[in-house]
C-alpha cells in the first residue's frame, strides 16, 4: 500500500445564502438560497485530497443528528476512511453559515458543535497507526490542545506534518515549526508574525513568509487568492501566479488548495510543483458554487 494522508479536523453542514452585497452592521437584506451541503475545513481538505488521488483517513466528530450523514456524505462517496469519526450524543453536528455576495466574496460564521469534541486521545491513537511516509494534515477548527498534541506526536514519530492554521489560533512555537509546510493566507500570515514577535523586511507576502520561515519553520506557503501563492523553503522564495478566472464563489477555495497540495506532496512532488498544481485546483473551485461541490477530480480539466 502507498502512503496515506491522515486528516484530523472539522466536519460541518454549510448553510448558504446569496446577497447582492454584504450587509452593514444593523442592516437587514433579503437573500436567496438556503441550501445545505457538507463542509468544514477538515472534511473539505480531506475530500479535495481524495479527489486528487490521495488515500485519506479522516478523524473528526459529528452529532447524533440528521445533519451527521449530510456532513459525511461527500467524503464517504470519495472513499475517505471514516472509521475514526466519533458520534457525540450531546452535541450537534457543526454548522457554518455562509453568506456569498454577487461579487463572489463570502463571510462565514462557524458553530463548532461536535467538532469541539475532537480530542487528544482520538488524534494520538490515529497517529500511532501511521506508517513511514504517511502525512498528517490539520487545520484550526478543532481544539488547540488536540492540534498541538497531534503535531508533537507526529513529529516525534518522524511523520510529515502539514498545518493550515485557519482560522488562526496562537499555537505554541514548536508546533508551528513542526509544520512542513505551514500554510496560511495573507491575514493569518500577518497574525503569525505578530504572535512570533517577528519583524519582516516589509509587509509584502514574500517578506512575511521569509520571516516566518526564518523563525524555524522548514517551509511556508502563503496563499494570495487571485494572485496565487508564495512559498519559502531552504532560503528560496518563489511566487506562483494563479490562472485568471471569473470567480463565482470563493467558499472553500483555500481548502481545495490545501487538500490538493497535500495530495501532491504525499506523492513525493517537490513543494513548488505541488503549489503550482494546488493554485490551479483553487482557481477551478472558485468558478463553481459551494465548497465541496466545487472541487475537481483527477479527470477534470484545470485552468
Peptide bond into 167 cis (omega under 30): yes
Separation between Cα atoms, residue 127 and residue 136, nearest integer Å: 8
> Hey, which residues are catalytic here?
255
Residues 247 and 241 sit within 8 Å (Cβ to Cβ)? no
Beta bridge partners of 36: 15
Three-state DSSP at 41 gives helix
Separation between Cα atoms, residue 171 and residue 194, nearest integer Å: 12
Peptide bond into 181 cis (omega under 30): yes
Separation between Cα atoms, residue 58 and residue 76, nearest integer Å: 10
Conformation bin of residue 235: beta by default, left when phi > 0, alpha when psi is -120 to 50: left
Residues 40 and 12 sit within 8 Å (Cβ to Cβ)? yes
Separation between Cα atoms, residue 156 and residue 152, nearest integer Å: 6
**H-assigned helices in the chain:** 41-51, 67-77, 120-128, 144-156, 173-176, 186-196, 205-214, 253-266, 271-285
Neighbour count for residue 201 (Cβ, 10 Å)? 10
Separation between Cα atoms, residue 26 and residue 303, nearest integer Å: 40
Amino acid at each position: 500500500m502507498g502512503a496515506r494522508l491522515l486528516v484530523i479536523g472539522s466536519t460541518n453542514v454549510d448553510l448558504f445564502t446569496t446577497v447582492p452585497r454584504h450587509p452593514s452592521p444593523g442592516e437587514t437584506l433579503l437573500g436567496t438560497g438556503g441550501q445545505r451541503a457538507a463542509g468544514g475545513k477538515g472534511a473539505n481538505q480531506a475530500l479535495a485530497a481524495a479527489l486528487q488521488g490521495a488515500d485519506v483517513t479522516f478523524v473528526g466528530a459529528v452529532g447524533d443528528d440528521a445533519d451527521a450523514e449530510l456532513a459525511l456524505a461527500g467524503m464517504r462517496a470519495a472513499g475517505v476512511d471514516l472509521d475514526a469519526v466519533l458520534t457525540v450524543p450531546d452535541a450537534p453536528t457543526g454548522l457554518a453559515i455562509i453568506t456569498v455576495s454577487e461579487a463572489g466574496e463570502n463571510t462565514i460564521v462557524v458553530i463548532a458543535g461536535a467538532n469541539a469534541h475532537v480530542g487528544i486521545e482520538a488524534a494520538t491513537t490515529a497517529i500511532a497507526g501511521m506508517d513511514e511516509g504517511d502525512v498528517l494534515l490539520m487545520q484550526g477548527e478543532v481544539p488547540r490542545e488536540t492540534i498541538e498534541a497531534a503535531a508533537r506526536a507526529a513529529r516525534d514519530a518522524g511523520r510529515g506534518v502539514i498545518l493550515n492554521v485557519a482560522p488562526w489560533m496562537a499555537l505554541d512555537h514548536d508546533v508551528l515549526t513542526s509544520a512542513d509546510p505551514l500554510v496560511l493566507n495573507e491575514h493569518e500570515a500577518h497574525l503569525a508574525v505578530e504572535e512570533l514577535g517577528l519583524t519582516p523586511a516589509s509587509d509584502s507576502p514574500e517578506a512575511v513568509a521569509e520571516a516566518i520561515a526564518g523563525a524555524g519553520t522548514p517551509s511556508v506557503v502563503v496563499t494570495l487568492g487571485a494572485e496565487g501563492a508564495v512559498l519559502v523553503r531552504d532560503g528560496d522564495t518563489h511566487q506562483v501566479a494563479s490562472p485568471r478566472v471569473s470567480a463565482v464563489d470563493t467558499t472553500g477555495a483555500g481548502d481545495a488548495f490545501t487538500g490538493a497540495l497535500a495530495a501532491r506532496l504525499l506523492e513525493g512532488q517537490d513543494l513548488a510543483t505541488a503549489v503550482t498544481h494546488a493554485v490551479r485546483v483553487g482557481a477551478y473551485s472558485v468558478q463553481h458554487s459551494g465548497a465541496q461541490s466545487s472541487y475537481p477530480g483527477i479527470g477534470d480539466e484545470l485552468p
